[in-house]
Amino acid sequence: MAKIILFGAPGSGKGTLASRIVEVESNIVHISTGDIFRENISKKTPLGLKAKGFTDKGELVPDELVIDMVRERMEREDVKENGFILDGFPRTLPQAQKLGEFASADVVLLLDVPKDILLKRILGRYSCPNCGQIYNKWLNKPKKEDICDKCGKKMEITQRADDNEETVKRRIEVYEENSAPILKFYEDLGLLKRVDSINTLELSGQEIKRLISPVK
Ligand code: ADP
Ligand code: ZN
């Protein structure tokens, strides 16, 4: 059972790597805080209504909202049985410290990508509304323009509300403001592994296995 944290700037490819890991570790639970917020926002839940003002501007949702949400998700049976991939959490040092109180990871994968590539990835990014598969209009199109490679359904292109240039720049700034202490925290725990994430789509199953194996 693997317990993995994915860490990296917006556009560094956390979601894409997560879907590769799910192919190798079939029952592992992918927990994307961004996805959970987007779902709550589209359903207009109380949590969604509180979060929207922050996500729309590219600001972080306050720690107490995020931490309770993640804790609740991590306490479910499927996570206990099959492990987890945390994608988008922790994003602040207090989140990392709190997480340590209710879950322990085997490995923290740092996706380190140059800033110019981040922008191109995010601004071109879209996903299949049916299965969530991620594409990029410049870098990674489906084989047939409007048919999803993964689920075979016809796709209307849906871009995220916060994938516009102004918000993206702010999200990258927010990452730069918060990431150093989190990386130090995990480096000190001996959990940090750097990933050359330019080509994670090309990694073989074997290579993914090696990547997610515990550091110690
Ligand atoms: P990104 O592409 O910027 O990594 P995500 O899909 O992970 O985006 O998150 C989208 C938005 O949801 C963030 O900009 C932020 O407002 C909010 N969010 C997601 N995870 C967290 C978190 N751990 N702490 C605070 N806010 C978060
Ligand atoms: Zn699809």
Polymer length of the chain: 216
Percent of the chain with pLDDT over 70: 99
Mutate to test the pocket of ligand 1, among 5, 7, 35, 55 (most ligand atoms within 8 A of CB): 55
Q: How confident is the model at residue 103 (pLDDT cuts 50, 70, 90)?
A: very high
> Using a 6 Å cutoff on CB, does residue 33 contact ligand 1?
yes
Q: Is the CB of 88 under 6 A from ligand 1?
A: yes
Instruction: Name the DSSP class of 157.
Output: -
HSE value, Cβ hemisphere, 13 Å, CA-based, for 77: 0
Cβ of residue 10 lying under 6 Å from some atom of ligand 1: yes
Is 215's pLDDT higher than 90?
A: no
Q: Does the annotation count 91 as an active-site position?
A: yes
Break the chain into its structural domains and give their ranges: 3-113+176-211
pTM score of the predicted model: 0.90
Look up residue 213 and give its two tokens. Answer: 């194996």
Is 73 noted as a catalytic residue in this protein? no
Which residue has a Cα nearest atom 16 of ligand 1?
Answer: 55
pLDDT band at residue 202, thresholds of 50, 70 and 90?
Answer: confident
Top-level class of domain 3-113+176-211: alpha beta
Stretch (H or E) spanning 193:
strand 192-195
Is the pLDDT reported for residue 16 higher than 90? no
The 10 Å CB-count burial string (b at 16+, else e) for 82-106 is ebbbbbbbbbbbebbebbeeebebb
Active site residue 3: no
Q: What is the pLDDT of residue 132?
A: 86
The pLDDT of residue 140: 87
Name the catalytic one among 20, 52, 91, 121. 91
Confidence at 197, pLDDT banded by 50, 70, 90: low
Catalytically annotated residue among 50, 57, 160, 209: 160
Let me know if 125 is a catalytic residue. Answer: yes
DSSP states of 58-127: TPPPPHHHHHHHHHHHHTSHHHHHHEEEEES---SHHHHHHHHHH---SEEEEE---HHHHHHHHHTEEE
| pLDDT for residue 142 is more than 70 | yes
Average pLDDT over residues 68-78: 96
Cα of 168 from ligand 2 centre, angstroms: 25
